[in-house]
Structure formats: structure tokens, C-alpha cells
Amino acid sequence: MEQNLTEPKKRIFSGVQPSGNITLGNYLGAIKNWVSLQDDYECIFAMMDLHTITVRQTPAELRKRTLELLALYIACGIDPQKSTLFIQSHNSAHAELAWVLNCYTYMGELQRMTQFKDKSSRHADNINAGLFTYPVLMASDILLYQTDLVPVGKDQMQHIEICRDVAQRFNGLYGDVFKIPEGLLVKSGAKVMSLTEPTKKMSKSDPNPKAFISMMDDFNVIAKKIKSAVTDSEGVIEFRPEDDAKAGINNLLTIMAAMTGSTPETVAKDFEGQGYGTFKGAVADAVVEAIRPIREEYDRIIKDKAYLQSIYTSGAENAYRIAQRTLKKVYKKVGFIIE
Ligand code: ATP
Ligand code: LTN
């Protein structure tokens, strides 16, 4: 991650949707990784509320979760002095660029998106146009800031590809308007799986709360969820990533490894010959101990609404300023009159 000091810092953009309580998966797969990037890159992180309404939300809940997400970013170690933090809907440029890029994105490209197929089958009563064009809004988020790198989980790589394709198409027509971004996969690669169906990813919008660990759960609830996580009847602690029958144990080993900075294989060795009960107890303790300081910080920050407001207000100002430069260029290129 080292950079030449004579060059300007590369820019990073990423975000999470305030669509539910942040899970251990979001933390290990996204936010934890961002913290370590802040010194070497110019970072912009947003609460992606425009994306969230592609699935029906309760308005008061969405407002509450957006603020909670900001408090959690900070509690996890994102430093507002170093990084820009803002709420997506506070910068109108996102929706504006998305409209333009909608006219440069093909239906066929969007139809291929796994997330669209997944979410439209899960929300069959509300397959709206926003859900379909979600990747175009995401491309706009990224391209507005002339972003170099986008740290996301593997599930988002398809969206990064479409973003690159649309940017290249636009640049092909009008010259170098957008920087072509690259996805940055989390190195530790922790993909945390559901505790009840360990072949599915842990998701904050899972209707079964036992499937995920929320960063907001009571500590005894976290321990209980881990202790009742689905495993297998073999009773052997071994890391076998290719073996679906072992998915539950693989997942707990992965979580434990991420918590202790170790590898699943090493953790499996450490617990060789022990019962699942003992192992689950140790995983529960490790998770609770890792979340405890974040929660203490979170509980303090969430009470300070004036502080949170000052962060998202100055964040939006900065984001708006950067984004306007790109948006004006785009408007000019496509033939709009800009004063
Ligand atoms: P939803 O359930 O609403 O689709 P989600 O929990 O899948 O949400 P997102 O907001 O879509 O989370 O993703 C935020 C970030 O967290 C992304 O970078 C994504 O790759 C990462 N992420 C989400 N779930 C996991 C997981 N189980 N393991 C690792 N990383 C994850
Ligand atoms: N789709 C992303 C959230 C997201 C995002 C972005 C991530 C929306 N816009 C721009 C990175 C860059 C997700 O994680 N589900």
C-alpha cells in the first residue's frame, strides 16, 4: 500500500447502505479494511441512502439507521479528520449523474447482474426500476469523485465491472472525462456466512435475526447466536473450504481467524480434538471482546447529535465541491447549457 511521496494520494470511495443493522460481515468485509487505508489514500466514505430505497423502507427507521451507520463508521476507527464522511442524498450530484449514465447503460448489461436477480426474487412484489438501475447509481457514486480504488467485498465486483464499462464507453465518445476505477478486494477476504444457513452469506437484511450478528446486538445475544450456529454432526474441527457439509465450522474458523489475526487453518490446529461446544464458546468470547470497544465508542458518539451533524454537513460540502467538477464536465460534453 506504500505510495510515492511526490505523487498526490490516490482517491478511494466506498459506502454501505443503511438498510439494516450493520453485521459482523459488513465490519470484517468492509469497514475494518477501510480504517487501514486512511493514511495512505484520500478516502471518501458515504452512507448510501439513495440505494437503500430500492427496497421498501420505514422512513423513521431509515433516518435512524443512517445516523447510526455514521456513528458506527467513526466508532470502528474511520477518522473524520482524515476521511470525508457524508450522506449520499445530501449531494444531489449522485442522482444527477445517474440520470445521464442511465442513457449510456444497456438493459442487457443490467439484466446480467446477480444482485438484481437475487433481490428481485426476494422482493417479487416490488421489482422497481431503481432496483434494476442500482448499478448505474453506484457507477455515478464512484465516477463523480474520479476515484482510483473502490474497496468492496467480492459480491460487488460485478458492479465495479459495469462501472468501468460505462465509464470507458463515455470516455470513448467524449474524451477523458472519467478516471477508470479499480475494485480493491479486502485482503483478509473474510466472507462471513449466515449462522443458520452457512452456505449463504451473512446479510443484514436476512429476515431471520439468528442468521447474523449485528454490531448492535447485546453481548449475551451475540454469544447465544454463535453457540447455536448450525454446524455438522461429524464433530471434527477442521477447515475444509470446499466441503459444503463443513460450511458451519468453516465459517466459525474464518470468523475466529479474522478476530485473532490468524488463519482458519491455524485456528483449526489450535482447537484440534476439542468439542464444538468449547470452540463455539471461544469464538463467542473473541467476537464479544472485539466488538466491546467499538460499542463503547459507538454508545458515546450516537448521543452526540450535534457532533454527528457537523461531520455529515462538512462532509457533504466537500463531496459536493469535488463532484460538481465532474458533473459540470459531463453536462458540457453531452450538450447541456452550463451557465
Ligand atoms: P443487504 O442485506 O441489505 O443486501 P449486506 O449486508 O449484503 O446488505 P451491503 O450494504 O450490501 O451489505 O454491503 C456493504 C459492504 O459489506 C460491501 O462491501 C460488501 O461486500 C460487504 N459485505 C456484506 N456482507 C458481507 C459478508 N457476509 N461478509 C463479508 N463482507 C460482506
Ligand atoms: N452496492 C454497495 C454499496 C454501494 C457502494 C457504492 C460501494 C453503493 N454505492 C459505491 C462502493 C462504491 C454494497 O456494498 N452493497
The pLDDT of residue 189: 59
Q: Among 240, 251, 270, 296, which Cα is nearest to 28's? A: 251
Spell out the residues 6+ positions from residue 151 whose beta carbon is closer than 8 angstroms to its own.
12, 14, 30, 33, 34, 37, 183, 184, 185, 186
Q: Which fold has domain 11-185+305-334?
A: Rossmann fold (3.40.50)
Q: How far apart are CA 250 and CA 268, in angstroms?
A: 9
- Across the range 321-327, mean pLDDT stands at 98
Mutate to test the pocket of ligand 1, among 13, 19, 26 (most ligand atoms within 8 A of CB): 26
**pTM for this prediction:** 0.91
pLDDT digits (tens, 9 = 90+) for 28-41: 888 998 999 999 99
Determine whether the shortest distance from the Cβ of 47 to ligand 2 is under 6 A: no
> Of the ligands numbered here, which is closest to the C-alpha atom of 153?
1
DSSP 276-339: HHHHHHHHHHHHHHHHHHHHHHHHHHHH-HHHHHHHHHHHHHHHHHHHHHHHHHHHHHHT----
Q: Check residues 240 and 206 and name the one with the higher pLDDT.
A: 240
> Of the ligands numbered here, which is closest to the C-alpha atom of 22?
1
CA distances, 326 to each of 8, 145, 197, 252 (Å): 18, 7, 44, 44
The pLDDT of residue 154: 80
pLDDT digits (tens, 9 = 90+) for 168-190: 999 999 999 999 999 998 766 57
- Tell me if 174 sits within 8 A of 248, measured CB to CB: no
Distance from the alpha carbon of residue 24 to the mean position of ligand 1, in angstroms: 10
pLDDT grade, residue 5 (50/70/90)? low
pLDDT digits (tens, 9 = 90+) for 262-318: 999 999 999 999 999 999 999 999 999 999 999 999 999 999 999 999 999 999 999
Give the active site residues. Answer: 119, 201, 204
Distance from the alpha carbon of residue 150 to the mean position of ligand 1, in angstroms: 14
Distance from the alpha carbon of residue 4 to the mean position of ligand 1, in angstroms: 32
According to DSSP, residue 217 is labeled S
Residue with cell 460534453: 333
pLDDT digits (tens, 9 = 90+) for 267-279: 999 999 999 999 9
Q: Whose CA is nearest to atom 9 of ligand 2?
A: 138
Q: How far apart are the first and last CA of the chain?
A: 41
- Measure the CA dihedral 15/16/22/28, to 10°: -50
Determine whether the shortest distance from the Cβ of 123 to ligand 1 is under 6 A: no
Q: What percent of the chain has pLDDT over 90?
A: 86
Determine whether the shortest distance from the Cβ of 155 to ligand 1 is under 6 A: yes
Q: How far apart are CA 71 and CA 89, in angstroms?
A: 17
pLDDT digits (tens, 9 = 90+) for 228-253: 999 999 999 999 999 999 999 999 99
In 10 A of CB 233, how many CB atoms? 6
Q: Is the pLDDT of residue 4 over 80?
A: no
Determine whether the shortest distance from the Cβ of 29 to ligand 1 is under 6 A: yes
Determine whether the shortest distance from the Cβ of 141 to ligand 2 is under 6 A: yes
Q: Which fold has domain 209-299?
A: Tyrosyl-Transfer RNA Synthetase (1.10.240)
What residue ranges in the chain does DSSP mark as E strands?
A: 11-16, 42-47, 84-87, 149-152, 182-185
Relative to the CA of 52, which ligand 1 atom is closest? 3
Determine whether the shortest distance from the Cβ of 65 to ligand 1 is under 6 A: no
pLDDT grade, residue 3 (50/70/90)? low
Mean pLDDT of the chain: 94
Distance from the alpha carbon of residue 197 to the mean position of ligand 2, in angstroms: 24
b (16+ CB within 10 A) / e for 114-123: ebbeebeeee
CA distances, 38 to each of 10, 43, 80 (Å): 11, 6, 10
pLDDT grade, residue 325 (50/70/90)? very high
> Of the ligands numbered here, which is closest to the C-alpha atom of 160?
2
- Tell me if 54 sits within 8 A of 113, measured CB to CB: no
Every domain of the chain and the residues it spans: 11-185+305-334, 209-299
> Of the ligands numbered here, which is closest to the C-alpha atom of 142?
2
What's at 68, amino acid-wise?
E
- Tell me if 47 sits within 8 A of 16, measured CB to CB: yes
Q: Check residues 222 and 153 and name the one with the higher pLDDT.
A: 222
In 3-state terms, what secondary structure has residue 135? helix
- Tell me if 146 sits within 8 A of 158, measured CB to CB: no
The three cell numbers of residue 124 are 417479487
Distance from the alpha carbon of residue 15 to the mean position of ligand 2, in angstroms: 5
Distance from the alpha carbon of residue 128 to the mean position of ligand 1, in angstroms: 21
